[in-house]
Amino acid sequence: AQRVTQPEKLLSVFKGAPVELKCNYSYSGSPELFWYVQYSRQRLQLLLRHISRESIKGFTADLNKGETSFHLKKPFAQEEDSAMYYCALSGISGNQFYFGTGTSLTVIP
Amino acid sequence: DTGVSQDPRHKITKRGQNVTFRCDPISEHNRLYWYRQTLGQGPEFLTYFQNEAQLEKSRLLSDRFSAERPKGSFSTLEIQRTEQGDSAMYLCASSFGDRETDTQYFGPGTRLTVL
């Protein structure tokens, strides 16, 4: 069963515009949700996790259990935000991890 | 320590051959994970170790795949009798701690091409 769905493969926004990358999940219980980012020619790295309720590089993500969503948002996109973004879920036991298919974000100058 | 390292970075092999990949985690990281990523997909979890113990294996890990972490440090992933469908990027990650929220640090990956 698909655990994590990222409906947009590609997303383009203009610099300074708000950006939202969608993520929906399917899992019973209380999973842990994450956003990972991969910049060009760099390794996959953690951007943020829902449990920390933090803002990283201006990005935030709120876990909505009713809608089973964990959308990533930023009010003003910057060119350096252009990257591939993956939503990920950790199962109850923490012994398995599920990644979405990713959204490629392009910020147009 | 410059982070998680993987060797080789690229591997081209013929169908039916065996291949082995190595992952060196960040020092003192007790957890080590293996993922597979095919074109256009996100990483797919394969297996993970806590120290030297292999605690979980995905159903994706067929009998042709085996992973070891003999001394709780580096790990190897072996694929026997490779098939064209095994062509993918194999990623390794490590973390410190025992919680699922611990940050995983990824290596650069090993790209496998099976001809």
What is the SS3 assignment for B52? coil
CB-nearest partner of B43 from A32, A90, A99: A99
According to the model, what pLDDT value does residue B71 have? 86
User: Distance from B16 to chain A by nearest Cα, in Å?
Assistant: 29
From the list B31, B47, B34, the residue with the least C-alpha distance to B101 is B31
CA distances from B111 to A46, B3, B11, B38 (A): 21, 18, 6, 10
According to the model, what pLDDT value does residue A93 have? 62
pLDDT digits (tens, 9 = 90+) for B69-97: 998 899 999 999 999 999 999 999 999 98
- Residue A83, number of CB atoms within 10 A of its CB: 20
Element counts in chain A: helices (H) and strands (E): 0, 11
Average pLDDT of the residues of chain A: 91
Q: How far apart are the C-alpha atoms of B90 and B112, rounded to whole Å?
A: 7
In chain A, which residues have their Cβ closer than 8 Å to the Cβ of B4?
Answer: 43
Nearest CA in chain B to A51: B101
According to the model, what pLDDT value does residue B97 have? 84
pLDDT digits (tens, 9 = 90+) for B52-73: 888 877 877 789 999 999 988 9
From the list B66, B87, B69, the residue with the least C-alpha distance to B78 is B66
Is the CB of A43 less than 8 angstroms away from the CB of B99? no
Q: Judged by CB atoms within 8 Å, which residues 2-41 of A form the interface with B?
A: 4, 6, 9, 32
